[in-house]
Amino acid sequence: MTQNKSHGRLSIAASLKPRELMQNNPRLAHTWTAQIITLFPNAFPGVLGESLTGKALQDRKWALETIDLRPFGDGKHKNVDDTPSGGGAGMVLRADVLGQAIEHAAANAPQGRPIVYLSPRGTPFTQAKAREWSKGSGVILLCGRFEGVDQRVLDHYNIEEVSLGDFVLTGGEIAAQAMIDATVRLLPDVLGNAASMDEESHSNGLLEHPQYTRPAIWNSLEIPEVLQSGHHGKIENWRREQSHALTKSRRPDLWDAYTSKIKK
């Protein structure tokens, strides 16, 4: 890693230090990398440091970089926000501060890495988006706080807005972790049993069939007989029927999309 003298370098070093998984992960040119611009770098890797995603991070199958927004702040107090133009409640993250952090992140990224603002106004995140991101070099994720970010930053850098769902979070960090998790598990060799991915909810436009495991009887409730029959054809049929029935009743929108796709 080449060291430059911008204050961004300090922010990365400082935010990497306490967290081993990230510290032992120097920037690797061909590794899928999530770059996260945030006021709360200590929130990372968070849950991404656990289990399969954590192991994969340790094994350098993907990398995580936080870019602390604070050192890019204005003046002695490193202000990052100001009151909304036109009045109203709350604070807005400043364009000049965000601009510097974005430039810093982009300078360390290969051409074409998407820059995304986590936002309740954005396009809802989907499995298709996770798949798309998993095929690229990584993502630059901008986490908002307070009332959000100055619109000019979104316009100037042509930033895509992506939402975790139709609700409002306090900041973008949880949304960033959810989206990174969904993306990283699609990278080669991150999930142990890659075959399980094809049948999962949303991978084929359907919800997954119910799952069971031992004990065979629990609270007088039995595992469906067919699953204990050892008859693979029958098991497959049962699972398909269950998956169709669940999708139809819970998510008529997905069912409509699925049936119109197979009619074509």
- Of 21-29, 143-151, 211-219, 237-245, the segment contacting ligand SAH by CB under 6 A is 143-151
Task: Please tell me the total number of residues recorded for the chain in this structure.
Answer: 264
Of 121 and 234, the one with the shorter C-beta distance to ligand SAH is 121
Does the footprint of ligand SAH cover residue 171 (CB under 6 A)? Answer: yes
Least Å distance, CB 61 to ligand SAH, is 25
Of 16 and 141, the one with the shorter C-beta distance to ligand SAH is 141
Question: Contacting ligand SAH (CB under 6 A), which of 167, 195, 198, 211?
Answer: 167
Q: How far is CA 177 from the centre of its chain?
A: 5
Question: Contacting ligand SAH (CB under 6 A), which of 140, 175, 180, 227?
Answer: 175
Least Å distance, CB 38 to ligand SAH, is 10
Judged by CB under 6 A, the number of residues near ligand SAH is: 18
Does the footprint of ligand SAH cover residue 178 (CB under 6 A)? Answer: no
Question: Do residues 141 and 179 lie in contact, with contact meaning Cβ atoms separated by under 8 Å?
Answer: yes
Does the footprint of ligand SAH cover residue 263 (CB under 6 A)? Answer: no
Peptide bond into 215 cis (omega under 30): yes
Q: What character string, x for contact with ligand SAH (CB under 6 A) and - otherwise, covers 96-125?
A: ----------------------xxxx----
